[in-house]
Structure 1
Amino acid sequence: MYYPHPLMRSLFVLSLLPFSYVQAADKPALTGGGVNPLSITKIHDRVNYMVSLNFNDGKIAQEWHSVDCKNNKAQILYKDLLDNEGLTKARFYGASYSRYAPAQDDKLMTAEDIRTVCNLPIKEAHWERLSATSSVGTTDLVDVNSIQRVGDILSVRMGYDYADIIWEPPYDAPLELKIEHYLYNCKTHQGDAFAAMNIDSEGRVTDSLITADIVRRKSSFKINTQMEERFGQMCQLPAGKTFTAEGHFVPAVNKPSSTLMGPSMPDLSNNNSQWLSKFPLSVAIEHQAQSLIKPWALPRFKQIRYTEVSAPGEVKVQLDAQPDGYIRKLEDYGIWTVQRLTLGNQLQLKYTMSISSGSSLLNKLQTDLRFPLVTGQRYQAQWDTIDDDKKVTAATLRCEVTGEGDAHSIAPEFSGKYLLVECHETHEGQRRSSGKSAWLQDLNVFVPVAQQVGDKPESLVKLENVSVIR
């Protein structure tokens, strides 16, 4: 692999910059790494690059960065954690696991660091059209400023512009331009793609394949006859001569969002109801659930927010009462969110996650639960859920109302009395769990008091940052 010496010297300096992932990792210690030259792209006034990080525990990470040289602003795009074979096993966009989130400001990059990046001898991409725009809005391109030949090796970046903004799985990362970096042997007429990047409207990399990931996907980047012909023309390009084809291409601005390739995962922000509403319950389940909550268990609030604090950690919760009497629950775990449609914040009717396009629905329910609850009451429930793959999972719940207390003791924002309900729950394929909940009689909702999973000790649950909108 060959690169001009000035670039290599600049890359050495770049590799010494205080990348955020390095600084955040007190243990394990960084033992090596550096910038991958094939990752460096300059789109307009923005430079993107990836740094590989090796740690003394054997773990490897790759972190993508972007620097806006016009506004002197540095950002972290995302991090990939690699397995022993060098393949991506986990991706984080900021704190978001396995799902795209906007770039984060890189507060560790100094003004001098930014100048170092912006002074790299990298030419801005200059796109030449290789084809007319297709019926689906795709235009084949080549970055003429990327064409380099050193010895028999041709280095070139091909591009594919999209007329619409599309979102690509598995991360729902938005893109308007794809870039593929090829190394091609002009003598043997053999070559491969060594990097592929998705670019958004601001010129930032939103998704990529590089190192072992692109080797695994080698069959997706085969050099066809037309590309081989183009590469042959570039191999014969006289020194100092610029490659030309169908003319200079300038991408459109303010592109519309695609109606065919939009996000495949749900938008659960602010406990949005649109995703789960697409999956109706069966008529039988709907009738059964409605008969349980009306009239004695209809929620007496519009919204409740709180943070569950327990030994396993903190979870932000938002409960929204629906006109039909169900309670829509959003659980924010930081790296992902979970949404449930529930009966009283106990029996789950529907379920989805922010990092999955799937959902599960209550498919069958047998229960002797009756409202209003009274001290000494016992009830049980047996149910099946079914997911998008038609997989059925069984679960059971056995509960007893064991006491009562002042709701104000759980949180000052609660009023009236509560009934303490102790439950034991099983889910097919999971460890048994148990918990204590308080049925708030003024609000008609369960809130957690304690929880236990498997053989672990019981953990008390404290509710903080409580707010109630009646």
Structure 2
Amino acid sequence: MHYARPLLRPLFLLSLLPFSFAQAAEKPELIGGGINPLSVTRIHDRVSYMVSLNFNNGKTAQQWRSVDCKQGKSELLYKDLLDDEGLTKVRFYGDSYMRYAPAQDDKLMTAEDIRKICQLPVKEPLWERLSATSATGITDLVDVNSIHRVGDILTVRMGYDFADIIWEPPYDAPLELKIEHYFYNCKTHQGDAVAAMNFDGQGRVTDSLITADIVRRKSSFKIDAQKAQHFEQLCQLPAGKTFTAEGRFVPAVNKSASTLMGPSMPDLSNNNPQWLSKYPLSAAVDRQAQALIKSWAIPRFKQVRYTEVSALGKIKVQLDAQSDGYIRKLEDYGIWTVQRLTLANLLQLKFAMSISSGAMLLNTLQTDLHFPLVQGQKYQAKLENIDADKKVTSSAMRCEVTGEGDAQRIAPEFSGKYLLVECHESNEGQPDNRSKLAWLQDLNIFVPVAQQLGDKPERLVTLENVSVTR
């Protein structure tokens, strides 16, 4: 996963991207599809499966679903949007872009639809242990109920039980059981995986490879000597005889979370500070930033919330003042979130994204900015940021304080006066942009008033759902 390049202001480029599959595809009409039989699995009372979807605009998708046959409840697991070669290019877990989120209720499935899914002719796995549990807690298994041979072709599902719950990249999807479905030619002694699925403890598929995706990843499923030996044993299994090896295996329930393989991407919910706190600023940058805010730019609030509304969409924003005077900012774009540590909600000191590991830090800062701001003041800033891969990107801004007004004109929840600040910003690898900001003197923060990206027209920004906690 690549890091988004940092901006001094909110990620305008991100707000240009689709917020949902329906918006991205302009609500195309479904013209065909069906259940992929290789995807259907039954674990206890739950059946999971994948539906191929074909649309009238030529696009295709794969929707993974799950039905609890005991409760008569259907759920949507995730959707893969495919490119022209049938490979997954985008995944959504509900509205979550490229990151695991829990299953969503499927309100379109009727009771009759659920009944038909539950009657699909697929058996629950009967696991036979192929080896002792490894030092890392993995047990190799074969599903006895999946062993079938038609002519020279053997079909079988292999399983891998994990003693702890782990979170597997790239989506941070929880994993307790992995199932791989193989076709093997008993005559030529050649075979391939045709489906691979990860499951949580309730039997839901959390990640998968199937159709073109697993063909592309063929090298990841090479049949080694040990697996070939197992397949040859199954090829020789007499008709009507049950395969046995090291004994039956029943996966444990209520497994503990792994302490070694937890999520690789941050939990930024509720503006959680834990992720960014793992990445300290250099002492030089910290001293420089602290000198800028003390004592004229210390935030005068505990928390400020608002929804930033423009022609580009809506962004929910939460600003939390830290004891060191910095402001921790959470931007909710609907399909992902962004967290920044900022100076006065203007200069970005740290950056993290909910769909990316690591963080980006301010590496160097050159500026003549000083507080308190006064009308007619001009200032500039040049910044270099460094990401987890040690890649350095630069940005710059030129600003002028051009006016003033009543802060209640921006939002009734604000008080006192504001100074209008007009800025021109350039960011390496991105179009230049201009912005108008209001410096709220009673709170000591900047909030947006207008924005202009590249050669696009200027767009006004309004703030809704404003709340201030002092």
Task: State the TM bucket, normalised to the shorter chain.
Answer: over 0.9
| 1:129 matched residue in structure 2 | 129
Fraction of identical pairs, as percent: 78
> Structure 1 CA distance, aligned partners of 2:330 and 2:245?
53
Offset of residue 463 of structure 1: 0.5
Alignment of 1:330-369 (within 5 A): 330-369=330-369
Amino acid at match of 2:260: L
1-structure distance, mates of 2:353, 2:140: 36
Counterparts of 2:25 and 2:150, CA distance in 1: 39
Q: Secondary structure at the match of 1:290?
A: helix
After superposition, the CA RMSD in angstroms is 1.3
3-state SS of the aligned residue for 1:287?
A: helix
The answer for the alignment partner of 2:94 in structure 1 is 94
Could you list the runs of 5+ residues in structure 1 that have no partner in the other structure? 1-20
Find the counterpart in structure 2 of residue 464 from structure 1.
464
- One-letter amino acid of the counterpart of residue 442, structure 1: D
Could you tell me how far 1:423 is from its partner in structure 2?
A: 0.7
**TM-score normalised per structure 1:** 0.94
1:228: how far off?
1.6
Question: In 1, distance between residues paired with 2:442 and 2:27?
Answer: 49
Summarize deviations over 1:272-296 as a string: whole Å, max 9, x none: 1111111111111000000000001
Per-residue deviation, 1:457: 0.7
Equivalent residue, structure 2, for 1:150? 150
Q: Distance in 2 between matches of 1:390 and 1:304?
A: 33
**Separation in structure 2 between the aligned mates of residue 362 and residue 385 of structure 1, nearest angstrom:** 4
Look up the match of 1:294: 294
Which residue in the other structure is 1:183 paired with? 183
- CA shift at 1:449, angstroms? 0.7
Give 1:315 shift. 0.3
**Amino acid paired to 2:223:** I
Report the secondary structure of 2:220's partner residue. helix
Opposite residue 225 of structure 1, the aligned amino acid is A
Query: What is the letter of the counterpart of residue 161 of structure 2?
Result: D
CA distance in 1, matches of 2:32, 2:116: 20
Q: Match of 2:63?
A: 63
- Per-residue CA deviations over 1:351-396 (Å, capped at 9, x if unaligned) read 1110011321111111111111111111111111111121111111
Q: Could you give the per-residue CA deviations for residues 186-207 of structure 1, whole angstroms, max 9, x where no partner exists?
A: 2221110000000001100000
* CA shift for structure 1 position 222: 1.0
- For 1:42, the equivalent position in structure 2 comes to 42
Amino acid at match of 2:240: G
Q: In 1, Cα distance between the equivalents of 2:80 and 2:425?
A: 36
Look up the SS of the partner of 2:274 in the other structure: coil
The count of corresponding residues between Structure 1 and Structure 2 is: 449
Cα 1:26–1:359 shift into 2, 3 Å: closer
AA at the equivalent of 2:364? K
Residue 26 of structure 1: how far off its partner (Å): 7.2
Alignment partner of 1:140 is 2:140: yes
d(CA) in 2 for partners of 1:184 and 1:32?
A: 31
Using CA pairs under 8 Å that are at least 6 residues apart, name the structure with larger relative contact order, 1 or 2: 2
Alignment-derived partner of residue 203 in structure 1: 203
Query: What is the CA-CA distance between 1:408 and the residue it aligns to?
Result: 1.0
- 1:286-338 Cα distance to aligned partner (Å, 9 max, x none): 00000000001000101111100100000000000000000000000011111
Write the distance in 1 (CA, Å) between the matches of 2:442 and 2:130: 68
> Which residue does the alignment assign to 2:390?
390
Cα distance in 2 for partners of 1:191, 1:47 equals 26
Equivalent position of 2:82 in the other structure:
82
- Matched position secondary structure for 1:183: strand
In 1: Cα distance, 2:33 partner to 2:184 partner: 26
Scaled by the length of structure 2, the TM-score of the pair is 0.94
Which letter maps to 2:271?
N
| Structure 1 position 32, deviation (Å) | 2.4
The residue identity in structure 2 corresponding to 1:345 is: N
User: Residue by residue, what CA displacement relative to the aligned partner does 1:155-178 show, whole Å, maximum 9, x if unpaired?
Assistant: 110000011100111101010011
The range that moved more, 293-302 or 48-57, is 48-57
Match of 1:16 in 2: none
Aligned to 1:453: 453
Alignment of 1:311-330 (within 5 A): 311-330=311-330
Q: Find out whether 1:230 has 2:242 as its counterpart.
A: no
**What residue identity is the alignment partner of 2:37?**
P
Q: CA deviation at 1:240?
A: 2.3
| Alignment-mate amino acid for residue 276 of structure 1 | L
The match for 2:12 is none
**Counterpart in 2 of 1:217?**
217
Deviation of 1:25 (Å): 7.2
SS at match of 1:145: helix
Distance in structure 1 (CA, Å) of the matches to 2:25 and 2:344: 42
Counterpart of 2:57 in 1: which secondary structure?
A: coil
| C-alpha distance in 2 between matches for 1:388 and 1:121 | 49
The separation in 2 between residues aligned to 1:190 and 1:382, in whole angstroms, is: 60
Quote how far apart the aligned CAs of 1:147 are. 1.0
Q: Distance in 2 between matches of 1:237 and 1:390?
A: 56
Aligned mates of 2:300, 2:311 — CA distance in 1: 30
Which secondary structure does the structure 2 equivalent of 1:226 belong to? helix
- AA aligned opposite 1:40: V
Range 26-35 or range 185-194, more displaced: 26-35
Question: Partners in 1 of 2:336 and 2:291 — Cα distance?
Answer: 33
Distance 2:193 2:323 in 1: 54
Correspondence 1:108 to 2:108? yes
- Structure 2: which 5+ residue stretches go unaligned? 1-20
Structure 1 counterpart of 2:244: 244
